[in-house]
Structure 1
Amino acid sequence: MPITTSSPPIRQPCPPGTCICNRDALLDNPAADPRILLLTQHEEKRLLARLENCASLDDLRKLQQRMEQQLGLRTEITPGHNEVRSMRGIRIVVHEQDGLCRKIRQSIPAAIRRGLERNPEVAYELLNEHDLLRGT
């Protein structure tokens, strides 16, 4: 019986003219990191659900590390430069890279904000990590 190896599914291309992800350039460049293309639409939904349901800052940080290890996707979550009065004051950056769809770049910060609104304790831990709640 012959052994067949199948490659993992990769993300379908965006409709022409709707995205600036440079998916084709990523596939054509043998030196590029194609891990981000492993984030299929099904996996994207799972990732967004996990981001929304993080129960602690430690869980959120571990998920950030796993996204970087498995997909090469780097994110930064820090308090904004000005006063933080709501979840909008928390700065969430998804670093651009070839193959990363514009839609995903927008949906990841939105999912993190929904998770912070659902679990404000995580936001307080984030603020305390940066000494913003030092005496309270």
Structure 2
Amino acid sequence: MTSQPPLRHPCPPGACDCGRERLADGPQRRILLLTREEEKRLVARLENLKDLDDLYHLQARLYAQLGIRVRISPGLNEVRTMRGIAIELEAQPGLCRKTRQAIPAAIRRGLERNPQVAFRLLDAHDLLRDA
């Protein structure tokens, strides 16, 4: 007897634009494995970043397990606060609107908690070479 892993409950009609009904069977459906409980664990993990390598590792794991691509880079204008760092999630069917907002917010909170990670990120993009 094989049991399927729990899937995320559908959003109420009209409340979300995730496009869950357009998902075909196969690798696209892996995004539905991110249940609300797992999302809470993910957000907690993103808020407790240790270093830049940890952030890159989490980005790779998000893509490998759920197919979520997260791009983090300095914004086009001057970076004075964590709001100046651009965190974008690639559009993907099945990714809930609240999750699309929660992941970047958790990464920002993690960068605010550990500013050394943000400085290393800026340095990786060659913004602090003269400092």
Which structure's CA Rg is the greater one?
A: 1
The count of aligned residue pairs is 131
CA RMSD of aligned residues (A): 1.0
Structure 1 spans left out of the alignment, 5+ residues: none
Secondary structure in structure 1 of the residue aligned to 2:8: coil
Percent identity for Structure 1 against Structure 2: 63
Distance 1:123 1:14 in 2: 34
User: 1:71 aligns to what?
Assistant: 66
Amino acid at match of 1:105: R
Distance 2:72 2:121 in 1: 8
User: 2:2 aligns to what?
Assistant: 5
Superposed CA deviations along residues 34-78 of structure 1, whole A, max 9, x for unmatched, are 110000000000000010001101000000000000000000000
Normalising by structure 1, what TM-score? Answer: 0.93
Structure 2 spans left out of the alignment, 5+ residues: none
Q: Would you say 1:88 and 2:83 are equivalent positions? A: yes
Distance 1:17 1:32 in 2: 25
User: 2:28 aligns to what?
Assistant: 33
Q: CA deviation at 1:33?
A: 1.0
Normalising by structure 2, what TM-score? Answer: 0.97
Query: Structure 1 runs of 4+ off > 4 angstroms?
Result: none
